[in-house]
Amino acid sequence: MPIKIKLLIVDDSALVRRLLKDIASSDPQIEVVGTASNGIEAIRLVNELDPDVVTMDIHMPEMDGLTALEYIMKKSPRPVIMLSALAQKGAVPTIKSLELGAVDFIAKPSHFPSAIREIKDEVLEKVRMAAGSRNFVEKAFGSAKGKKRLKLRLPLPPREKIVVIGASAGGPKALAEIIPLFPANMPAGMVIAQHMPGVFTRSFAERLDQKSELRVKEAEEGDLIEPGRVLVVPGGYDMIISSNDEGSRARVSLIQSKGKYGATPSIDATMRSAAETFHENSIGVIMTGMGSDGAQGIAAIKEKKGKTIAQNEETCLIFSMPKAAIEKRCVDWVVPLEQIPETILSVL
């Protein structure tokens, strides 16, 4: 008999707890071992029940979800999925939760909880994904070491270059670790395509900007690709990079995306356009994430003689995206997360 995924549900609403329990129990792979109404109860039940996965509401009385998450990741790390309001006011705490170690989040519909069944498939898929990452989470936390910002002593390259980074599940935390390592005089423009709903990408970009010497912003129509600048593709849109003239700087265009929940922006679309515009002066990086988005895009960069990098399995929350790219035999370097910045700079 297969081993079931043990799930703990934490939410201050009894109705939401019941509805989430009904959804989870509809999957024979998942067993709801307990429920809690605040962070204090959650910490106690994590210790008592040893769940494989925890779903955690952010706003709760007595102890909120962020405080409980931080404690759990320090004392008894395991995969935690946050429940977040799908509104701008929910963006900052959601991004904070991903930096603290939450493996993913589920955005509540605006007419939540009456519409909770609309996110049934997302809940089940993310719980299964999170359960598969438990060994990684347990190993990753408690072993973090301080990293120093890298210094670049090389002159600016004679031609404009671009770095395109694609990430999905696990990406926000991983990017928050490596983007601050790049120096302000990085001789290339950078684009980040992180699967994330649009209401969160601006706050995500602002958090990275606060931590970094690079200038980080959510991309807008017509933004230029410039050295030392990082553009985060807005959720719900795909970015196309193009240049009208040989000597002019490349600009970005944003088009509405039709990806499934969480699977926008398209990494493939951004990388393909970067390859067409920058040719051998493009660098593609595929990081942690589920699925295969980015594999075709990084292959296009390789075909145009650009350089390609993938995050290794040991440091990925989910290895699916890097694996898909590696299996296409179009990746030049497979490196741990902490070596991605120095690899990019060595190529530049």
Residue 44, token pair as written in the block: 């106690």
pLDDT value of position 114: 67
Q: Do 67 and 10 form a contact (C-beta atoms < 8 A)?
A: no
pLDDT value of position 279: 95
Q: Do 236 and 196 form a contact (C-beta atoms < 8 A)?
A: no
Is residue 282 part of the annotated active site? The answer reads no
Is residue 293 part of the annotated active site? The answer reads yes
Q: Which residues of 127-142 are buried (b: 16+ CB within 10 A; e: fewer)?
A: bebbbbbbebbeebbe
What CATH number was assigned to the domain covering residues 5-140?
3.40.50.2300
Residue 269, token pair as written in the block: 């679309």
Is residue 13 part of the annotated active site? The answer reads no
Q: Do 161 and 201 form a contact (C-beta atoms < 8 A)?
A: no
First to last CA, the chain: 53
Q: Do 239 and 193 form a contact (C-beta atoms < 8 A)?
A: yes
- Residue 234: count of CB within 10 angstroms of its CB: 24
Residue 90, token pair as written in the block: 């929910």
Residue 115, token pair as written in the block: 């519409």
Helix (H, G, I), strand (E, B) or coil at 76: coil
- Residue 5: count of CB within 10 angstroms of its CB: 22
pLDDT value of position 193: 98
Surface-to-core class of residue 248, CB atoms within 10 Å of its CB (0-12 exposed, 13-18 middle, 19+ buried): exposed
Q: Which residues of 192-218 are buried (b: 16+ CB within 10 A; e: fewer)?
A: bbbbbbbbbbbbbbbbbbebbbbebeb
pLDDT value of position 249: 85
pLDDT value of position 173: 94
Asked if the 162-347 domain carries CATH number 3.30.420.40, the reply is: no
Domain ranges of the chain: 5-140, 162-347
Strands (E), 11-52: 30-36
pLDDT value of position 295: 97
Q: Which residues pair with 83 in a beta bridge?
A: 57, 106
- Of the residues 11, 52, 195, 203, only one is catalytic, namely 195
- Of 173, 38, 19, residue with least CA distance to 109: 19
Please give the Cα distance from 114 to 30 (Å, whole number). Answer: 23
> Which segments of the chain have a pLDDT < 70?
1-2, 86-89, 112-114, 142-159, 245-247, 259-262
What tens digit of pLDDT does each residue of 268-323 get?
Answer: 999 999 999 999 999 999 999 999 999 999 999 999 999 999 999 999 999 999 99
pTM above 0.85, yes or no: yes
Handedness of CA 107, 111, 112, 115 (dihedral sign): negative
Helix (H, G, I), strand (E, B) or coil at 307: strand
- Residue 272: count of CB within 10 angstroms of its CB: 23
Residue 321 CB partners (closer than 8 Å, separation 6+): 166, 167, 168, 267, 286, 287, 288, 289, 290, 291, 292, 293, 294, 295
Does the fold of domain 162-347 match that of domain 5-140?
A: yes
Q: Which residues pair with 229 in a beta bridge?
A: 215
- Of the residues 84, 168, 203, 266, only one is catalytic, namely 168
Looking up tokens 């509401």 gives 57
Q: Do 58 and 90 form a contact (C-beta atoms < 8 A)?
A: yes
